Amino acid sequence: MAPRANVDQPDIPCYSHATKKGGGMALKVDQDLCTGCGLCAQICPEVFEIGDDGYSHVLKGADETLPCVDEAIDQCPVGAISR
């Protein structure tokens, strides 16, 4: 019997196009949630900085795999950091 086409697969989102080198999702700060408290930049200055706009930004070329990134995600009081 010939194999069936994959027409009965459930709707599973494909993240392959959204992943970065290393397999993680892109780290980002939701500017609508960020209060600019600066905590993430204190915890993980290698990755986060408070911009001229008063909100946190992910530094270009930063090593997003640093352990302090996870701590910053956990400590952000408004849950603005995600990956």
Contact (Cβ atoms closer than 8 angstroms) between residue 72 and residue 48: yes
| Site mask for ligand SF4 (CB under 6 A), range 10-49, x = bound | -------------------x----xxxxxxx---------
Residue 65 as a binder of ligand SF4 (CB under 6 A): the answer is no
Query: Which pair of tokens denotes residue 73?
Result: 């995600």
59 binds ligand SF4 (CB under 6 A): no
Phi, psi of 82 (to 5 degrees): -150, 165
Give the integer Cα–Cα distance in Å for 28 and 39.
15
- Tell me which residues touch ligand SF4 (CB under 6 A): 29, 34-40, 56, 76-78, 80-81
